[in-house]
Chains A and B, each alone.
Chain A
Amino acid sequence: MARFIVRRCLYAVVTLFILSLTIFSVVRLTGDPVTLMAEPGAQEEDLARVRAEWGLDQPWPVQYVTFVKNIFTGEFGKSFNYEMPVSTLYFQRLPNSLELALAATLISFVVGIPAGIVSAVRVNTPWDNFGKIVALLGLSIPGFWLGLVMILVFSVWLGWLPTSGQGDWRNLVMPAVALGWYFAASLLRLTRSSMLEVMRSEYIKLARLKGLPGYVVVAVHAFKNALIPVLTLAGINLVIMLNAAVIIEVIFAWPGIGRLLFEGIFQRDFPLVQGVVMAAGIMVVAINLLIDILYAAIDPRIRLTR
């Protein structure tokens, strides 16, 4: 087991190293941030001064070493635009993103899981067809369009909800629905297929033969086992919602991490983009590592085969 954990940890380190190299290179391929900081009228000397101030006049290897050092200090560098440590900005926005992501996750659970169960239990009936349509719409309607339509209908026309920003629970409703809608659809699909697979298994047939009531078979025996892949997906979805709800956070002026990333990309704020991506990467890698270790602890065959 210890060897397995060490091996997985090494994989995680290698993954993060590759991620750091990739994000470091990719942001620099997008162009010179100094040209975006200055508009026509700024002088050549001003540009040179800004480049030197931010270390952008240094060779790439030197800049990369600085970037890695900043990761280890926990600051993730200093944002060009805000002139603050990226970690400070990240942790300022994290509670907001967490609030939105948890609300969206709740919506995706409330919609996706029951609908998936009903679709699987009532397979090839109108219930199932309705579930398929919901899933199709959820996966195909872009979140930004849904968000704008909701603003128009519920804020401008009906006046029920505030358009945007952070405030009380009413501010959370539309962004959470717009964000959770897609994930609800994906959960619905996965719950349905997972339930179908479980429902066809031998032990479910046995439970039915034993004369257990249908709801007991579904709720107690089938659902519990079908839930494992669903929860795994939900965990990853939560991390994605937390770090990459870029469009929804921009549309609803929600002060979260996704919007921070958008601002960083828009302004060519290299440290900010690198920092947010690395923080998200660390989170994803850590969760995957944890899941792998838990799987291995539960099922010894996993650590033997990998």
Chain B
Amino acid sequence: MGNSSLSRRRLLTSALATTALASPYVRARAAETVTPAGKMVVAWHTNIAARWLDPQQHDGTASPDNFLNALHDALIKNYRKELYDHRSLAERYEFAEDAKSATFWLRPGGKFHDGTPITPDDVKFTYEHYHGAWSEVLRTKTQGVEIVDDRTVRFHFKDPFLDFPILFGTGNVCGAGWVVPAKYYQQVGQDGFMQKPIGAGPYKLISQQPGIKLEFEAFEAYHNPVHIKQLTMVSVPEAATRLAMLERGEIDLMYFVPGELISRVKSNPKLMLAPVVSANWWLEFPGFQDPKNPFHDKRVRQAVSLAIDRDAMNQAECDGMGVVDGNWIDDDVEYGLKWPTWEHNIAKAKQLMAEAGYANGLNVDWVTPVPDYYSRGERIVSQLQAIGIRSKLQTLERGVFLKRMESGLKQWPGVQIILNAARIGGTWSNWYDTMFRCNGFQSKDFFCVKDIDDKFATYLSSDDVKQRKTLAEEIQRTILDEYYLVPVFRHAFVNAIGPRIAAKTWHDVFPTITTGYAYPWEDIQLKPTAG
């Protein structure tokens, strides 16, 4: 326990030291005189849901943060290489040593787009009325929100709540830290707020055509300089149309270039690809605990891993722009374990199959990939044939797939392989809890490995940082050593940047490692000639 306190104190000290060191930089940036100019148009790849403009309704998905980061601002947030604790509306914050409280000091002079000051009352209202993803967890664990003075607000927890900063500060997981103007929100109500949202972010909303188009203008009172005057986000679901718009200069940034269009972008010297490494992909064997299931034998699971040609998959599916790594959990979350890449060795795989009693191979009823990445499933089917695993591809519509995943083993009878994928922010535990834990959101009764589920329960109840880290790594190591899940690769969410945007590399436009989207928006600049 002593070690953990010391460790947490060290963490806190370093957070404060970083604040002190960063302050001159922040001041310098704020003092920098920038007059926003020009216009940037971004083509979004699905329709634009109005609820994404209201952080109070954060749905726990990765999409809202693209919009939240333009329109709203959070006390702390994921930003560039900082995972969750970039101080934005908060000038500084302290997380108590006993993890039972967190105190935030608001940046002086902070304003909403309507000119009203950001106060601790707004923070308190935002937190207490938040009803989006993770709200139940926050509510259950929070004792109260105390307004200490006109710039300070303190959250008190019933028990040590070590995951609070990560949940609170990760924009693609939870929206409780994204401050809304309390009086205005109460005055117009939730529906009214979605139609005319007011935030504290770098861009204020000027107009919206629901689902179609959002037009923003730079908020010059923002605490960081905003470079582009007008920002338009337009929904263009068809990828070929988005690319044609980019080629013609009708838009400046295109989200999601599908594989078949990547070469067209590459061959155009005016355009730049932005392959943001994103979701992780892995194979799972639902029901492998049943002794009658061939995947009950570790050697068969290992043989599957050896049969997968991950580099070929990356090359074929993402033009080689994804990453072949060793873990099924992204390494940009807390305690995500680095793991060496896996061997591709057909001879060894065949030998293991023979040792397990499957010298002549075996039949798998279905290989089911996450919709609608069916070609990835086809590659798995064909690669497994090399070691005698005969299978068929099952294509499911997305809603049906998700429903079946939620329903557990009864929906996956026989011998099944699922090619699953996810990008979950925050911490490794969100991955485990959702994808592997017995009765998890997508794991249900697929795996149920009691030993590591028990360890996970200990992890959740522990307030010892060192113990939690050890347990997190142990659990991940067990899953990988035992081939309970077989990692495949991390795919690239490929975007494209037009010629008017000032960028030496794509990282200049997509610097935030925890997202596939182009924030911080305020930092994006146009070339001087593009004005």
Contacts and interface: CB of A to CB of B under 8 A. Distances in A.
Contacts of A38: 59-61, 133
Contact of B136 (A37, A43, A255, A267): A43
Interface string A252-284: 110100011011001110000000000000000
Query: Looking at A30, A32, A41, which has the most chain B CB atoms within 10 Å of its CB?
Result: A41
B442 A84 contact: no
Nearest to A42: B60
A79 B487 CA distance: 38
Interface in B245-271: 245, 247-248, 250
A168 interface: no
B155 to A, nearest CB: 20
A156 B237 CA distance: 18
B47 A46 contact: no
Chain B interface extent, by class: 35 or more
A103 to B, nearest CB: 19
A93 to B, nearest CB: 9
A44 to B, nearest CB: 7
Contact of A43 (B209, B406, B441): B441
Given A32-B399, A83-B191, A40 B422 contact: yes
Interface in A26-78: 30-33, 35-46, 49
B135 interface: yes
A81 B51 contact: yes
10 smallest A-B Cβ distances: which pairs? A31-B399, A42-B60, A35-B402, A39-B61, A263-B47, A45-B136, A255-B212, A163-B244, A253-B236, A41-B424
Interface in B411-436: 422, 424-426, 430, 434-435
B234 A253 contact: yes
Query: Looking at B134, B241, B245, which has the most chain A CB atoms within 10 Å of its CB?
Result: B241
Given A83-B51, A251-B241, A253-B237, A159 B248 contact: yes
A143 B212 CA distance: 22
Contacts of A259: 47, 237
29 contacts: A31-B397, A32-B399, A32-B403, A38-B60, A38-B61, A41-B61, A41-B424, A41-B425, A41-B434, A41-B441, A42-B59, A42-B60, A43-B60, A46-B59, A46-B133, A81-B49, A81-B50, A81-B211, A82-B51, A83-B194, A84-B191, A84-B194, A151-B244, A156-B248, A162-B248, A163-B248, A252-B241, A253-B234, A255-B213
A83 B399 contact: no
Contact of A83 (B61, B190, B213): B190
Contacts of B244: 151-152, 155-156, 163-164
Interface string A229-260: 00000000000000000000011110100011
Contacts of A32: 399, 402-403, 406
A86 B425 CA distance: 33
A165 interface: yes
Contact of A255 (B209, B241, B245): B209
Contact of A163 (B49, B61, B250, B422): B250
Interface in B186-242: 190-191, 194-195, 209-213, 234-238, 240-241
Contacts of B212: 253, 255
Contact of A84 (B46, B210, B250, B399): B210
B398 interface: yes
Interface of B: 46-47, 49-51, 59-62, 131-137, 173, 190-191, 194-195, 209-213, 234-238, 240-241, 244-245, 247-248, 250, 397-400, 402-403, 406, 422, 424-426, 430, 434-435, 441-442
A156 B264 CA distance: 12
A142 B397 CA distance: 23
A52 to B, nearest CB: 11
A89 interface: yes
Given A250-B238, A253-B235, A263-B211, A42 B47 contact: no
A268 B238 contact: no
- Interface residues of B, dominant DSSP: mixed
Contacts of A165: 234, 236, 250
Contacts of A267: 47, 49
Contacts of A162: 248, 250
Given A253-B237, A253-B238, A92 B133 contact: no
A144 B424 CA distance: 35
Contacts of A39: 59-62, 422
A36 B63 CA distance: 12
Contacts of A42: 59-61, 133, 441
A255 B236 CA distance: 10
A42 B173 CA distance: 8
A111 interface: no
Contact of B398 (A36, A45, A83, A156): A36
Given A46-B135, A84-B191, A253-B237, A266 B441 contact: no
A50 to B, nearest CB: 8
Contacts of A41: 60-61, 133, 173, 422, 424-426, 430, 434, 441
B248 A83 contact: no
Contacts of B398: 36
B238 A251 contact: yes
Nearest to B235: A253
Contacts of B245: 163-164
Contacts of B406: 32, 35
Given A31-B403, A41-B434, A42-B441, A82 B136 contact: no
Contacts of A163: 241, 244-245, 248, 250
Contacts of B402: 31-32, 35-36
A148 interface: yes
A41 B131 CA distance: 16
Contacts of A155: 244, 248
Nearest to A151: B244
Contacts of A36: 398-399, 402
Given A40-B442, A81-B47, A49 B131 contact: yes
A90 to B, nearest CB: 11
Contacts of A89: 210-211
Nearest to B134: A43
A253 B241 contact: yes
A35 B173 CA distance: 16
B241 A164 contact: yes
A201 to B, nearest CB: 48
A41 B426 CA distance: 10
Contacts of B59: 37-39, 42, 46
B184 to A, nearest CB: 17
Contacts of B234: 165, 253
